[in-house]
Amino acid sequence: MPDRNSHMPQKPKMQKGVLGRVLKSLFKFYPKMTVFTLICVVFNAVISSLPSIFMERVFTVVGEGVSALKAGLITDGWAQFGMEITKYMLTLIGLYVLSLVSCAIYKQMLAVITQGYLKKMRGLMFNGMQDLPIKYFDTNNNGDIMSYYTNDIDALRQMVSESLPQLLISGIMVLTLFIIMLWYSLWLTLIVIAGVVIIVLVTKTVGGGAGKYFVGQQKAMGKVEGYIEEMMNGQKVVKVFCHENEAKADFDKVNEYLFDQSNRANRYANMLMPILGNIGHVLYVLVALLGGVFILKGVSNVSIGVLFNGELAVFGIALVVAFLQMTRQFCNNINQVSNQINSVVMGIAGAGRLFALIDQKPETDDGYVMLVNAKDENGELVECAEHTGLWAWKHPHGDGTVTYTKLEGDIEMHDVDFEYVPGKLVLRDVSVFAKPGQKVAFVGATGAGKTTITNLINRFYDIADGKIRYDGININKIKKADLRRSLGIVLQDTNLFTGTVMDNIRYGKLDATDEECIAAAKLAGADDFITRLPEGYNTMLTSNGANLSQGQRQLVSIARAAVADPPVMILDEATSSIDTRTEAIVSRGMDALMQGRTVFVIAHRLSTVKNSDVIIVLDHGQIIERGSHEKLIEQKGQYYQLYTGAFELE
């Protein structure tokens, strides 16, 4: 039974520099549009901070008008003051219209930037994944990888489209209002600053806790999705072995961890806003109370504006009312800043995971020998553009010369050592020699190293010691794409893609004609069942060919390898999922497919390897026997015991 703790996320760690990288990439992808959007955002924020100034001016004009009328200094001043108030109001309306226009513009542009940015990020992630080594997918859960494209990309979307713009607007408004408040009254601003200090301390304490758990929530969600994906794929196994209760217990464990992280994060976040809101209310009351006291006591006002004017003034009702409006707006924006921090933290956590995927080191390829089409001219190989059925290795040399070696399928392994984990050898001193057209079979217990050998021939992994040569060329010198193009492989686990049966066969050779695909299907013995499908070769396959049996899926997989027509074939338990009758049909096709090719066969059914030229018996990563079927039977060693049933493979 697997260790349940293996699904548990590690303790979350905040990543540094992620936000800067997000911003840098935004400017890189959309330089002009991002700058223009920022200008609109700043303009909108500044305009939204100005109403308090106009409110103070209106109150001042009204107060002066009332005082003048009461003193009898003027008899008909309402029209004059009304016109001045109207001027202020029209100016304010004009500013609001400009703010509305700028808001509409930046919202539209932000939508384009956000979706375009996410599109480019998904492209970088997926394209980068295509260049990752097989080891990455062997050591990372598929569900967790899928979480990058769902949860993490959505957290990034919310941060870019909502949180960062709102944070910027609120931050600019806070700065603008602070300058305006200093201009109007230093004493009242000091009261607001005291409140802001308290708000910052509360945000740091409560918001910091929320941020830490939001990061944990993001990672835990990936683990939950990974576990669900694993259980869905293995549902039949769960049912067969009555593992439902254990599966539930395992799920409860990872789900409980996700709940714990989410609960803690949201508990902190939900506490933060009410606390900050009430601090703002208390601050509003304090400003009103002290402002009233200053008015009654006739306290002289000190401000940047007074210093510029060069004369002191006492507190008035217009100043205090306008300052109350600024205080409320200031506190609301401080709260908005605090509120957006959690979304930013989630976005940073998601972006950090995305960048970690993008930054994964791609599969290294220092090969320089290429596979090219060739033709024979007077006994000499010449490179050509058209496909002639003849392939050659193009080998450039340091002196500028180029030599061509005919692709024949001669593969040799000399004293190969290999380890998946440093210090733990999986293969030890393995030497294999496969001449062109030979059929080499590997047998042995599970974990003996059979599939590992074929993985090394494909260079899915690189050897620790020894050499592997292909037509006399060290495979480290061959470009990986060219190496793999010369190898056909049929795996035990079939993978079919959404599309027609014809599309799945053509996957082995994208420029293959329908006739070539049908010929490959007939060769593999798949044509008979395909023609009986509802739409024949045009039948749609979904969910890894769920509408086909396991044996039928394997036949399509074999046909896919056949249409590629490679000189070397690797059959890794290719007939393990096919019944005996179907195996006989496939074997005839496989014999035709293997004709003239170098073939490596891995099989537990020893009946499928009897006609191999060489049978290699592996045990714990070492070759213990080698020879033809008849020779190994005569030796009466382990192969003899395996074949006669005196010794079990496992």
Q: Tell me how far the alpha carbon of residue 248 is from its chain's centroid.
A: 28
| Range with the poorest average pLDDT among 68-72, 148-152, 562-566 | 68-72
Whether residue 332 has pLDDT greater than 60: yes
Reference 482, options 394, 594, 374, 396; nearest CA is 394
Regarding beta strands 622-627 and 614-619, do their DSSP bridges make them parallel or antiparallel, or are they unpaired? antiparallel
| Domain 20-358: top CATH class | mainly alpha
Q: Where are the CATH 3.40.50.300 domain residues in the chain?
A: 411-644
| Range with the poorest average pLDDT among 352-356, 380-384, 542-546 | 542-546
For residue 10, the model assigns a pLDDT of 44
Sheet holding 380-383, edge to edge: 380-383, 370-377, 391-396, 402-406
For residue 11, the model assigns a pLDDT of 42
Whether residue 478 has pLDDT greater than 90: yes
Question: 3-class secondary structure for 554-571?
Answer: HHHHHHHHHHHCCCEEEE
| Full-model pTM | 0.73
How high is the mean pLDDT of the chain?
81
Mean pLDDT (whole number) for 279-305: 81
Whether residue 158 has pLDDT greater than 80: yes
For residue 56, the model assigns a pLDDT of 66
Mean pLDDT (whole number) for 247-258: 84
Q: Please tell me which of 4-18, 194-208, 364-378 the model is most confident about, judged by mean pLDDT.
A: 364-378
| Range with the poorest average pLDDT among 91-100, 212-221, 413-422 | 212-221
| Range with the poorest average pLDDT among 64-78, 118-132, 291-305, 624-638 | 64-78
Q: Please tell me which of 136-145, 574-583, 626-635 the model is most confident about, judged by mean pLDDT.
A: 626-635
Contact (CB, 8 A) for 171 and 44: no
Whether residue 314 has pLDDT greater than 70: no
Q: Is the dihedral of CA 135, 137, 140, 141 positive or negative?
A: negative
Q: Where are the CATH 1.20.1560.10 domain residues in the chain?
A: 20-358
- CB atoms closer than 10 angstroms to residue 548: 20
- pLDDT grade for 307, boundaries at 50, 70 and 90: low
CATH of 411-644 given 3.30.450.20, 3.60.21.70, 3.90.79.10, 3.40.50.300: 3.40.50.300
Mean pLDDT (whole number) for 469-497: 88
Q: What is the DSSP string of 17-82?
A: SHHHHHHHHHHHHSHHHHHHHHHHHHHHHHHHT-HHHHHHHHHHHHHHHHHHHHTTS-SS-HHHHH
- Which residues share a beta bridge with 478? 369
